[in-house]
């Protein structure tokens, strides 16, 4: 169905149109994610979850407790622990004990980890730009604004529960 056909649709079909939109968002998200996963694996021998862990740590100069890192990534501590172990072995991140709490550690990027992540992040930006490059700058801003509005509305609903 073309965008022209969508503008001529009968009233009362908004929920069907929203369902179609949702399915298209999922499809594009899966395609872009698959491309990122493939390039990270094939060209740099890493994974998207490792990239995500390093991205979260890059945004936090002081590092994060493991529980906070899991929360940021919205995954269990168990999912993050194996990734963190391997990144520590490679010298990309370091564990730092939390003073006064023997069970807690903070993880943060090493200088080597920051350099490694910065190089990957620049490539990641290019790899995301390529498949989304058919949108002009104004269309990009419009889609971003609309998705932000949906996200804000969903966050509001969650906090009211």
Residue 86 in any domain: the answer is yes
Full-model pTM? 0.81
Q: Pull the structure tokens for residue 30.
A: 């899966």
Residue 100 in any domain: the answer is yes
Q: What is the pLDDT of residue 79?
A: 83
Residue 64 in any domain: the answer is yes
Strand order in the sheet with 93-98: 64-65, 101-109, 93-98
Residue 79 in any domain: the answer is yes
Residue 85 in any domain: the answer is yes
Residue 39 in any domain: the answer is no
What is the CATH classification number for the domain harbouring 131? Answer: 1.10.10.10
Placement of tokens 């990309």 in the chain: 92
CA-closest candidate to residue 49, choices 6, 8, 84, 25: 84
Residue 84 in any domain: the answer is yes
What's the domain range around 115?
48-160
Q: Is the backbone of residue 70 left (phi > 0), alpha (psi -120 to 50) or beta? A: alpha
Structural domain count of the chain: 1
pLDDT tens for the chain, 161 residues long, are 565 565 565 656 899 999 999 999 999 999 999 999 999 999 999 999 999 999 999 999 899 999 899 988 988 888 899 999 999 999 999 999 888 888 888 999 999 999 999 999 999 999 999 999 999 999 999 999 999 999 999 989 988 88
Q: What is the pLDDT of residue 161?
A: 80
Pairwise CA distance, residues 113 & 98, whole Å: 21
């Amino acid at each position: 169905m073309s965008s022209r056909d969508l503008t001529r649709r009968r009233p009362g079909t908004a929920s069907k149109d929203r369902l179609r939109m949702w399915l298209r968002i999922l499809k594009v998200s899966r395609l872009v994610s698959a491309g990122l996963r493939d390039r990270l694996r094939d060209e740099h021998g890493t994974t998207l979850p490792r990239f995500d862990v390093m991205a979260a740590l890059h945004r936090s100069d002081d590092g994060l407790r493991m529980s906070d890192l899991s929360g940021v990534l919205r995954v269990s501590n168990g999912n993050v622990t194996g990734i963190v172990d391997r990144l520590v072995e490679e010298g990309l991140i370091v564990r730092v004990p939390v003073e006064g709490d023997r069970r807690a550690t903070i993880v943060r990027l090493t200088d080597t980890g920051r350099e490694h992540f910065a190089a990957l992040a620049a490539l990641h930006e290019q790899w995301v730009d390529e498949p989304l490059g058919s949108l002009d700058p104004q269309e990009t801003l419009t889609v971003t604004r609309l998705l932000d509005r949906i996200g804000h509305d969903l966050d509001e609903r969650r906090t009211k529960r």
